Every structure is written in structure tokens, then in C-alpha cells.
Structure 1
Amino acid sequence: MALIPKETVDQIMHAADIVEVVGDYVQLKRKGQNLWAPCPFHNEKSPSFSVTPSKGFFKCFGCGKSGDSVRFIMEIEGSSYPEALKHLARKYGIEIKEEEKTPQQQLEQNERDSQFIVSDWAKNHYHQRLLNTEEGMGIGYGYLKERGLNLSTIQIFELGYSLDAWDDLLKAATAAGYQQKYLEKTGLVVKREDDQGHDTGRRYDRFRGRVMFPIHNISGRVVGFGARTLKRDDKMAKYLNSPESDIYHKSDVLYGLFQARQAIRTEEVCYLVEGYLDVLSLYQGGIKNVVASSGTSLTEGQIRLIKRYSDNVTVLYDGDAAGIKASLRGTDLLLEGGLNVRVVLFPDGDDPDSYIRKVGDKRFSDYIENQSQDFITFKTTLVAREASGDPVKKAEAIRDVLHSIAKVPDAIKRQVFLQQTAQVFGIDEQVLITEYNKVVQSKPAPRPEQGNAARPQGQGQQSGRPAAQPPRPMSAEDEELALMYGADPSELQSAPAGQTDEDFGEFDVVPDVLQTCEREVLRLLVLYAAREISEEVSVAAYLVGQYGETPFETPLYAEVWTMCYQELMAGRFPEVRNLVQTDRSEVRTLITDLATERYELSPNWRTKEIYVFNEVDLPQQACDNAILRLNKCQVQRKLDKVMDRLRQPGLDEAEMFGLLGEVKTLKQLDNELGAMLGTVIGRGS
């Protein structure tokens, strides 16, 4: 893919007004300095979606999504970063001159573009044949109407009809000036070969006498077709799909996702069905967050597509036992992909399309709401029923369920599922956990970020540390030394036997108080970097001068501080609109959190002459308070570690003297910082 020059990206970013960009999709209302609206990414009644014009970013306090104009287009349209930039370039009339491609890259791009163009033309051709020909109206439209579809649904999904003729599309495309090779590459036209596989020179339409279902990619471009015959011929496939091509990869496409993507975000769940008509009937019935795997086995690429829009998926199974068993593996893949999976099973002989036409939209919606159950419970009940009375089948069924449970990322859910499975199969829970651990151990080791999440805490399991034992009393000599140095002997009880330095090592998690203090310093840096504290001294220079390059223990805060530090060292003030241009969602969310005020001070307070400290007018006071609080917290943290060391047994007298000296120095510094803050928090005094 050719790169968009940085100068052009900068031009797009400068032109893209966040209010105008977001305003194309939601109705914003001003309240204070920000603009607000119900979030377009999840369903809510009270607006929690905020746009800050001065800093050029959006932030939802409900679902947490945030970013700049480009990120908004990426989220709302489901597009890539280059696609979002091109979208904004078109909106603001900016010409994108992509960096020069190699001849091979240019050829490949031309080939793909030509296939997109001819596919779009074919879609329009089939659509016109459906609505503007006697055969199309009588057969194609008649069939769709019989299946309960109205004209609006037909037009939204751009349905069509291929005439029952050998070369209707081929002749029309040739007359319109389209090259035959692109008709062949997209599978619209097939070349005839003889028995030896030699090209006879003859060509014919792949789709003839069929209702046409255009398949769109996530950007709305047609990449292929599904086609249903209306003839009663056992020798002819009922459904025929486009073959794989440069633009169509079945494993990376879900039918209906282009039309459903916004509803999936809003409803926070994706309904997964099997066929085209299932999607169409449910969409028309008001359930717009529905997609289909188009009769193929679910793939990892399709699962990643769903996850871009929601972590929740409900699979709607036909009431067909054989079909359900064939679909279980695909549902396991959904679990493995980190999705929350639920299942709805329809009565025997019904599928989503037939059932909604049978009972109507309201009763159908009520049915899927009331009959929805989590996948593990569904699968456990299903396989337990099939294995009833057969010990060998029962053992196989249990292992099958355990393999599915092992794919659930959430440890608490896994524990609940293990308990439920034990009850359904009538097996001791501890035995089941033991077998589960065997299943987990037989799998490849988890990635580092997963840690030990795959292993549930079963009954009788112990944590890594030894059980707590009562502390041993200090000697009289140790107590005397402690008092001499101002330490409280009760705080320095010797550690229980068996505990080592590891047990009193580094904190596993940065304490909440320290995080709060670090966050406040970082907030002032992000929010007021360029504001002057005094002549020629900015907030950024003041804070960086105090702390240097790496002042924080919280990794995410340290990462953002480093970004700001690097900007300052490059001669630029760190600006929010630049900092949020990152692929790291955690960083983007933190920056927008720091730079966004959820609530604003009412102007009535000013008219009533009620004084409220304003950090905007007194930036040095705000910085000094934040610095002192962080310093005090860091001193207290060091003091805690020294005290932990003093509690350990076996210290010699020199080491004891040294540590008690540290305690005295740190307590004195702690009290001084407390006094400077106007507080009295002397620890141990």
C-alpha cells in the first residue's frame, strides 16, 4: 500500500474540524466549553459523549472510546487509518498524492481497482434487471416478495436478478466498455474449456436465472455475489457464490456487516446467523445488528471483524440437530477470540428467517431475548443429553466441554462454568478441575500478557505464599534501638519464620494513592504544558525540571510522560491533538481522560462571588501542590519498604543501625513535606 506523505497527513489533520466531522454523524449540543450527544458507539439515554473543540478530540465517558477526527472515522466507519484519512481528504477537498509506487505495486493496485469497478457495475446491472425487466419482476422480485421482503430492504441490500441467458451480463459489460479479463477475474464470467482443459475461446455468465445477493466489504464496496436458483433441479446447486479473487476472500467477509456495523455498536451485541435471507428478514424486522457467515464455517478473520464492533455475539441456531453439532466448532472459535458467546435455539424445523415470518417481529424479539443462554451451558446440556446412559460417551462429552471452557478468557466465568458442568454431569467438582488442568496443560503455553489466567483456582488450591503465621516479638535491644531512632517498635515486629526478602520485595501493583498523585502531575503537564508560570518558564519546563525523564512507577503514566518529554526536547510543547494520534488505545484513552473535564463549574458560583481555586489562573500553585503530594507519597512508599526490611529476622547490628537511620531521615522529610502542604501527617509520631 502506498504511503500518504506526512505533509498531506498534516494538512488533513489541520483541516479536519472535530465538531464538523462528528457532527456529520450525531447531533451535538453545546454545554459549557464542550459539546455533548448520546454516544454513537453504544446505546444510552443520557449523553455521555463529549467533543472538545479546543483540543480537537472526542471522549465517551460511558464506553471509553476516544481520539481525534481520524480515530472517530475509523471507529464509526470501521475503516483503516489510510481509509479514514482519505475520507477526511474528500470531505475537505484535499488532494492526496500518494508516494510513488513501484511498477509492480501500481499494477496490483490497478488490477484491484478494476475488479472493484466491474463488480460495482455488475451489482447495478443485476439490480436493474430485477426491477426493470419482465423476467426479473415476475420471477426474481416475485420470489423476494413471497419471502416477505419489501422494496426498501431490497434497495438497502441492493438485491438483483441475473437473467436466464448464457451471456446477458457478458454482452452488457462488453457494450459498456469493460474488459473481459476483469469479468473473468471476479468470477462473473467463466471461460469454457474442452475435455483436455484447453480454452475453447467461448465465454458465458456464471450466474443465470438466479436472485443475486451482493456481498459488500466493510467499506461498502462489492467484492462478490451469492446467487440462489429458483429452478427445481436437484442437479443444480441451490446457492452459488463468487470464487475467491484478488478482492474477495470468503474467510474475511461477513454478509450484512456493512449494513449492520453501526447497529452492532449501538446495541453492543452481534447476532450471527447462517444465510442471506436470515439477515434480510431480521434486518427488515427491526433487528439490524445481524450478520451471516454465508453458509461457510466461521473463520478467525470473521471473528476479528465482529470483535471490531462488539465483544458480544449471540449465535442463532436452526432447529436442526446435525447443523448444530457442525456449528459447535465455530462457536468454540468465538470463545477463543475473546468474545462473550450466547446461543438461541429455534424450534425443530425452523430457522431465523422462517420463524420471524411465522410469529412476527415482536414475538421473535421476545423469543431471542427469553431463550438466549450462554454457550457453555447450552453445549453442556446438549452433549450431556446425547451421552446419557453411556459412560464412554459421557467421558468424551465432559472433555469436549472442558476444551470449550478452556477457551473462555475470564477466570471467574470459567470457575462458574466448571461448577455448572459438574452439576449437569453429576461429577465431583474437584475431579472435574483436575481433568480441566490436564486439558490446559496439554495446550501451548499462554502468551505473556495472559499470565496464568488459563488456570482456575480450584478447591483446596493454595496461593504461592506460605500461610500467615504470628509475628515473632522483638528483642529488648531492638526495641531500644527503635525508640532511639524515633520508630514505633510495634511497627517493627520480626517477620514470621520462613519468610524471605521475596515476601517483602517490590509491590506487585502500584498503590492507588501513588497512582493518583502521579496522575495529577501528568494531568497538569498534558493540560497546561504551554501555559506560563513565570516569565519564560512554562508548566512543561517547570514539571520536567523537577522530575526529569522518568518520574513515575505506573507504566502507562511513564509512557505518556516520555511522549511529552520527547516533544519538549524536540523544541515543541506537547499538544493533546498530537498526543492522541497513536494506535495505543490505552494511551489515547488516558490522554483524553486527562484533558477532559466531566463537569464544569457553574457560572452562578461566580455571580454569587463564591471563591473556588482556579488552577488555570494559578498554575504554579497547582503544580507545587501536585509536586509536593507526589514527593510525599514517594517518601512514604520508601519508608514502607525500609520498615518492611526492618521486620525481617537475622539483621546484624550495623544493618539495623543503617535502616533505622533511613527511617529517621525519611520520617523527618515526610513531616516537612506535610507541613509545606499545610497538613500534619507525621507517620509513627
Structure 2
Amino acid sequence: MALIKKEVVDQIIQQADIVEVVGDFVSLKKKGQNLWAPCPFHYEKSPSFSVAPNKGIYKCFGCGKAGNAVQFIMDIEGTSYVEALKYLAKKYSIDIEEDTSPAAVQAQNEKDSLFIISDFAKEYYVKALHKNDEGQSIGAPYFKQRGLSAATIQKFELGYSLDSWDDFTKAALEKGFQLKYLEETGLTIVKQEEGKQYDRFRGRVMFPIHNVSGRTIGFGARTLKSNDKKSPKYVNSPESPIYHKSDVLYGMFQAKQAIRQEDVCYLVEGYLDVLSLHQGGIENVVASSGTSLTENQIKLIGRYTKNITVLYDGDPAGIKASLRGIDLILEGGLNVDVVLFSDGDDPDSYIRKVGDTKFKEYLKAHSQDFISFKSELYAQEARNNPVKKAEAIREMVVSIAKIPDAIKRSVFLKQCSIQFGIDEQVLISEYNKIHLAEQKSSKPTPGSAPSAFSPGSYSPGSFEEMAAEAEAAAAAEAEAYEQENQTEDTSTLIKTREREVIRLILNYADKEVEEGLTTSQFMLGELEDIEFQTPIYKRLFDMCRIKLEQGFMPTAAEFMQHEEKEIRNEVIDLVSEKYELSEGWATHEIFVPREVDLIQYGSEREVLRLKWRNVQAMIREHMNSLQTLQDPQELDKVLRTIKALKDFEKQIGDMLGIVVNR
């Protein structure tokens, strides 16, 4: 596989505007210097996803996803690094010159190998359907019987696997593919103890499963042998490094543009439902492929629309089983409608029965919001049973409680009250209990308050409101610091201080703490004799020191492009700011110092804090050694060392304004 030359990669990264790239997928709103949105990678009720234009990065303070424009495309589209670069190159009209040297070809990683072999398998099955006598006599008639056109078969790359034990495996091995990749993708089953290997898919019509960028990652396969009771109707690819069924929706690659345009996603159960509706002009349709809806699948839909319509085939057991998944959709703030088909029909059979136009009319006429649908469903079941009725009402309130929008909740509670004939206030009381329980379970942990140099998140309001919030933030920080001082885990405390040192160096490397002395020069000089204990911060500290020795400022920008993901992620996390000062302070002509305004004070204190914690660790280490010492001279030496360390601890404590009680 050819690799993109470094100078081209640098050009792509430099030209890619993080706001433009993220804005193609997420609706961003400006708040302070940064832009914010609900995170596209996890469900939340308030925005925690931040884009910092001046730093060229994004960061979610909920799930932790972070990176630059390239990483965002990798995360949102599920692509490889090279594919993400190609996406951005196309967006910004950058010509890609690829490095075709032997070293570059050899650099092809395992994941790309799995993609390549999956693409080969897809082409093999497509060829078997169209060019092989068996495919033409068995596979093609099945698709014709289901009403699929040649265009649909081609668009979804449908195929056929020959009814042979190892025809595909032999073909792949002859092409030079390694057996380990065939096994890892699940295309070949290997029996090591028997020395045998054979095809997983045999005598079946094949439905390739694509990721959102169109790469083949797995297969669904349906048998055409109705008389074989031992063989399962459907066989699917097993989990692999490129295929995780809980993250994938069948047809999303073909549907994503239509979903964006129509601003609604139709969710069905099977492959043929997707194919028939897509062929009928309803292209914004995907399938869960018979599995329970997962959070990751919901997140995938949420990237393209906030509106989902679930199409049910009328099977009561299937409907009840899927309700929990729909509660997950509600919790994410998405709107859910339901369409129910009767008389044993599913979307595939119904559209073939009535045609495209009437099918669309049916969707429009029979679509109802999920809460109304669930209310009617539960009300019918519990009509003459008080116990079931009480359970049904509680179930309804649980679903309504998932909805973040207060107005919608109020409307649905009133509607539920009418549906079940129960006082609305009773439902509100039950909702309040659920809401209170959720608040208690999500209560912030002690010590999670903003640091002294990270201003809290304030909204413009009255002076009294802002003053109260500032007082509360200060009290929370004081409590957190008090708890930190009571903690026995010295290594954790040292890790916290090491992190703060690196954070200040990376954020304010070139800011002067005094004339002619920058933050990075001051902190690296003061701590040159300190051995960092946390591996990631030791590496970053050493990297910063080397940069400074070479005559360069150790700023975060270069480290964010580091080849190691751990380094990139940590640096992005260190430079991401969750809190910003509101413009309301300036409106009231109140000066609130920023961290950069107090950088001399902050740098000096962080140096002292790290030294203080290291001295405490040394004291503890020497105290523990007393238990094993037998030699009086050694004992006396250690005691004198402990005394000297305690004196030093007190000196630093006095400078920090901390009383040391020993």
C-alpha cells in the first residue's frame, strides 16, 4: 500500500480548518473563544463537545474523544489514518503524491490487510453471482424473485458464495493472501488440530456490510436450502478488528446522504427491507440486522439526523423487545416516530404488495410519535388488570424521563395522563422521583471542581448570580484541595502535580514569568533534578527539555502531531479548556484574572507543589525503611535524613501557606 509523503501530510494538516471539518457533521455554536455542540460520539443532554479554532483541536469533556481534523474524520467516519488524509485532501483540493517505495509498501498495517481481503471477498462473491453457472442458476433467481433490480444488486454489491467446502479459500491463497488474515476476518474457518480449513460461507446469497466510508468490513449470508433444517437461515461474519456488529447499521453507507437531506432515518430490521425501500425511492433507510439496537448504532444515526422513524412488522414480541433500544434514542434527545404494519407484513413485503407511492402514503398516514405508540400498546395490554396498569404507567414515565426537552416531557406526561385516566400530578411526582434518583447517581465526585487557574463556566447574568457562582467554585476548590492533602496515595498526588507542570509548560511555553525568562525555561530549570514518576509525563518533560536545548519552544502544536497516539491524546487533553469566562463579567466591569495573567504565580506554586509532594514521598520511603534497619549507624543516618527532609517539607509548606503537622 502506498503512503502519503510527509510534506503532503503536513500541508493537509495545516490547511484543514477544524471548524469547517467538524461543521460538516455537527452544528456548532460559538461560546467564548471556542465552539460547542452535543458530542457526536456519545449521547448527552448538554453540550460537552468543544472545538478550539486557535489550537486546531476538538475535545469532548464527556467521553474523552479528542484530536485534530484528521483524527475527527477517523473517529466520525470510521476510517484509517490514510483514508482520513485522502478525505481532507479531496475537501481542500490538495494533490496527493504517494510514496511507493518498498519501505512504504512494507508499512501496510494489519488493519488495512483485513480491509483488502474483505474487498477481495466481496469481488469474488459478486463475480460468482454474475459469471458462474451456479450463481446464475441459484443466486440470481432468488434476487429476481425478491423484486431486486440489477441496479440495486450492483449498488449494494450483492453476491453469491459457491456451494463448495473451500473454493473461496483456495482462490484467496492462490492470490497470495495469508491464511491468518482469512481466519481473522472469519472468511475461512481453520481447524488446527485437524489440519483443515474451509469457507465459512457456502451456497448462500451474500450481503456485504460496509462501514460509513464504503469499505467492506463483513458479510451477512442467507441460505437458499429450505430443506436443510440443521443449517441456520442466516450466517454473519464474526467480530474482527474491522467489524463490530454493535457499531454497524446495514445500508448506512448508501443511506447517509439521503438521511442528511431528508433529515430523518427509517430504521428497519433486515437486509431485504433496506434493499426494497431503497429501490422504491426511500433511500434514507438502514437496518439493525435483527440485533437489539445499541448505543453505538444510535450514535451513528445521530451523526446525520435527530429524527428516527422505526418501522415495525407487527410482531408483538419483537416490538416489546425493541422498546428498550428506543428509550436509548430518547435519552439522546432524538425524536422517535413509529409505523406499524399489520396482517403479517414487513416493510419489504408491503412495498412489493402496494408499490412505492402507496407505501410512502402509508408511512405518512400511520406515523405516530413513540410515546403515543407505547402508551396505546401498554394501555391495551393493561386494560382490565390494575397491577399491569400500574406497571405500564411506571414504564411510560421512565421513557418520558429520558427526554431532555422539558416542554416535550410536559406534553407527553399530560398525554399519558389522559391515555391511562390518571391524575397528571401523580405522573409528575413519579417523574420527579426518577429525576432525583438520576441526579444522585450522576453527582460529581469530590475534587472534580475546576483548578485555581481554570475559571469556572459562568453564564451572563446578574452580579449577584455571578458572585454566588464564584463563591461556590472557590469553596468547591478549597474542599477538593483539603481532600487532596488528606489522601494517603502519594503517587496519585505526584501524578497530579506532574500533570499540572506539563500542562503549564505546553500552554504557556513562551510566556515570560519575568523579563527574559519564559515559563518553560523557568519550570524546566527549577525541576531539572526532579525525576518524574509518571511515564507519560516523564516522556513529555524530557521531550520539552530536548526541544529547549535545541533552541525551540516546547509548544503543544508539534506534539499534537506526534506519531504515537498516547502522546497526541495526552497533549490535546492538557491544552483543552473546559471552562471559559463569560462575557458577563466584562459587561459588569469586573476584572477576573485569567491563568495567563497569573502565570508567574502559577508556575512558581506548581514547582513548589511538585517538590513538596516528592519530599513527602521521600520521607515516607525512609520511614518505611526504619522497620528493617539493624545497624545503629545506618539507623542514625536515616533518622538525620528524615529530619532534614521534614525541615525542607516545612520550608516549602511555609512558602505555599500550608501548615505541616508532623
TM-score interval (norm. to shorter): 0.5 to 0.7
What does residue 364 of structure 1 align with? 359
* 1:15-414 matched pairs, under 5 angstroms: 83-89=83-89, 92-95=95-98, 110-192=109-191, 199-232=193-226, 233-414=228-409
Distance in 1 between the 2:230 and 2:585 partners? 81
Task: Tell me the CA shift for residue 83 of structure 1.
Answer: 4.2
CA deviations 1:299-351 (Å, max 9, x no partner) are 11111111111111111111111111111111111112321111111113011
Distance in 2 between the 1:181 and 1:5 partners? 30
CA deviations 1:357-390 (Å, max 9, x no partner) are 1111111111112211111111111011111100
Q: Please say if residues 463 and 588 of structure 2, whose CA atoms lie closer than 8 Å, have aligned partners that are also in contact.
A: no
CA deviations 1:173-213 (Å, max 9, x no partner) are 12222122211111111124xxxxx6201111111110000
Q: Please say if residues 300 and 337 of structure 1, whose CA atoms lie closer than 8 Å, have aligned partners that are also in contact.
A: no
* 1:279-678 matched pairs, under 5 angstroms: 279-443=274-438, 445=440, 504-506=464-466, 634=588
Q: Please say if residues 281 and 356 of structure 1, whose CA atoms lie closer than 8 Å, have aligned partners that are also in contact.
A: yes
Distance in 2 between the 1:317 and 1:414 partners? 24
What does residue 50 of structure 1 align with? none
Q: Please say if residues 12 and 94 of structure 1, whose CA atoms lie closer than 8 Å, have aligned partners that are also in contact.
A: no
Which residue identity is paired with 2:95? Y
Q: Please say if residues 286 and 361 of structure 1, whose CA atoms lie closer than 8 Å, have aligned partners that are also in contact.
A: yes
Task: Tell me the CA shift for residue 72 of structure 1.
Answer: 11
Which residue identity is paired with 2:282? I
Question: Kindly tell me: are residues 631 and 423 of structure 1, through their superposed partners in 2, closer, same or farther at Cα, counting changes over 3 Å?
Answer: closer
Question: Greater Rg, structure 1 or structure 2?
Answer: 1
Q: Please say if residues 89 and 96 of structure 1, whose CA atoms lie closer than 8 Å, have aligned partners that are also in contact.
A: no
Distance in 2 between the 1:428 and 1:288 partners? 43
Distance in 2 between the 1:16 and 1:504 partners? 43
Task: Tell me the CA shift for residue 88 of structure 1.
Answer: 3.5
Question: Kindly tell me: are residues 216 and 303 of structure 1, through their superposed partners in 2, closer, same or farther at Cα, counting changes over 3 Å?
Answer: same
What does residue 49 of structure 1 align with? none
CA deviations 1:466-522 (Å, max 9, x no partner) are xxxxxxxxxxxxxxxxxxxxxxxxxxxxxxxxxxxx99544999xxxxxxxxxxxxx
Distance in 2 between the 1:201 and 1:224 partners? 25
Question: Kindly tell me: are residues 79 and 206 of structure 1, through their superposed partners in 2, closer, same or farther at Cα, counting changes over 3 Å?
Answer: closer
Distance in 1 between the 2:239 and 2:272 partners? 22
Question: Kindly tell me: are residues 388 and 399 of structure 1, through their superposed partners in 2, closer, same or farther at Cα, counting changes over 3 Å?
Answer: same
The count of aligned residue pairs is: 424
Question: Kindly tell me: are residues 177 and 398 of structure 1, through their superposed partners in 2, closer, same or farther at Cα, counting changes over 3 Å?
Answer: same
Question: Kindly tell me: are residues 389 and 169 of structure 1, through their superposed partners in 2, closer, same or farther at Cα, counting changes over 3 Å?
Answer: same
Which residue identity is paired with 2:159? G
Q: Please say if residues 220 and 237 of structure 2, whose CA atoms lie closer than 8 Å, have aligned partners that are also in contact.
A: yes
Distance in 1 between the 2:97 and 2:409 partners? 52
Question: Kindly tell me: are residues 80 and 446 of structure 1, through their superposed partners in 2, closer, same or farther at Cα, counting changes over 3 Å?
Answer: farther
**SS of corresponding position for 1:347:** coil
Distance in 1 between the 2:587 and 2:431 partners? 44
Question: Kindly tell me: are residues 82 and 176 of structure 1, through their superposed partners in 2, closer, same or farther at Cα, counting changes over 3 Å?
Answer: closer
Q: Please say if residues 4 and 96 of structure 2, whose CA atoms lie closer than 8 Å, have aligned partners that are also in contact.
A: no
Distance in 1 between the 2:277 and 2:369 partners? 21
Task: Tell me the CA shift for residue 4 of structure 1.
Answer: 9.7
Which segments of 5 or more consecutive residues in structure 1 lack a partner in the other structure? 22-56, 58-67, 193-197, 450-501, 510-569, 571-582, 588-629, 638-685
Question: Kindly tell me: are residues 162 and 365 of structure 1, through their superposed partners in 2, closer, same or farther at Cα, counting changes over 3 Å?
Answer: same
Task: Tell me the CA shift for residue 434 of structure 1.
Answer: 1.1
Q: Please say if residues 186 and 243 of structure 1, whose CA atoms lie closer than 8 Å, have aligned partners that are also in contact.
A: yes
CA deviations 1:380-407 (Å, max 9, x no partner) are 1101111110000000111111111111
Task: Tell me the CA shift for residue 235 of structure 1.
Answer: 2.2
Distance in 1 between the 2:302 and 2:100 partners? 33
Q: Please say if residues 371 and 400 of structure 2, whose CA atoms lie closer than 8 Å, have aligned partners that are also in contact.
A: yes
Question: Kindly tell me: are residues 413 and 631 of structure 1, through their superposed partners in 2, closer, same or farther at Cα, counting changes over 3 Å?
Answer: closer
Distance in 1 between the 2:436 and 2:257 partners? 40
Which residue identity is paired with 1:255? Y
CA deviations 1:444-466 (Å, max 9, x no partner) are 547589xxxxxxxxxxxxxxxxx
Distance in 2 between the 1:291 and 1:631 partners? 48
Question: Kindly tell me: are residues 635 and 164 of structure 1, through their superposed partners in 2, closer, same or farther at Cα, counting changes over 3 Å?
Answer: closer
Distance in 2 between the 1:504 and 1:373 partners? 46
What does residue 602 of structure 2 align with? none
Task: Tell me the CA shift for residue 96 of structure 1.
Answer: 7.8
Per mean C-alpha deviation after superposition, the further-off stretch among 376-385 and 8-17 is 8-17
CA deviations 1:606-632 (Å, max 9, x no partner) are xxxxxxxxxxxxxxxxxxxxxxxx999
Computed over aligned residues only, the root mean square deviation of the Cα atoms, in angstroms, reads 4.4
CA deviations 1:126-161 (Å, max 9, x no partner) are 000001112111211110011010011111110000
Q: Please say if residues 8 and 96 of structure 2, whose CA atoms lie closer than 8 Å, have aligned partners that are also in contact.
A: no
Distance in 2 between the 1:189 and 1:366 partners? 45
Distance in 2 between the 1:370 and 1:78 partners? 36
Which residue identity is paired with 1:208? R
Distance in 1 between the 2:262 and 2:291 partners? 25
Question: Kindly tell me: are residues 141 and 184 of structure 1, through their superposed partners in 2, closer, same or farther at Cα, counting changes over 3 Å?
Answer: same
Distance in 1 between the 2:132 and 2:5 partners? 48
Question: Kindly tell me: are residues 319 and 83 of structure 1, through their superposed partners in 2, closer, same or farther at Cα, counting changes over 3 Å?
Answer: same
Task: Tell me the CA shift for residue 86 of structure 1.
Answer: 3.2
Question: Kindly tell me: are residues 505 and 254 of structure 1, through their superposed partners in 2, closer, same or farther at Cα, counting changes over 3 Å?
Answer: closer
CA deviations 1:501-558 (Å, max 9, x no partner) are x99544999xxxxxxxxxxxxxxxxxxxxxxxxxxxxxxxxxxxxxxxxxxxxxxxxx
Question: Kindly tell me: are residues 10 and 176 of structure 1, through their superposed partners in 2, closer, same or farther at Cα, counting changes over 3 Å?
Answer: closer
CA deviations 1:78-118 (Å, max 9, x no partner) are 868874333344751244899x99xxxx99x7222221111
Between the aligned residues of both structures, percent identity stands at 63
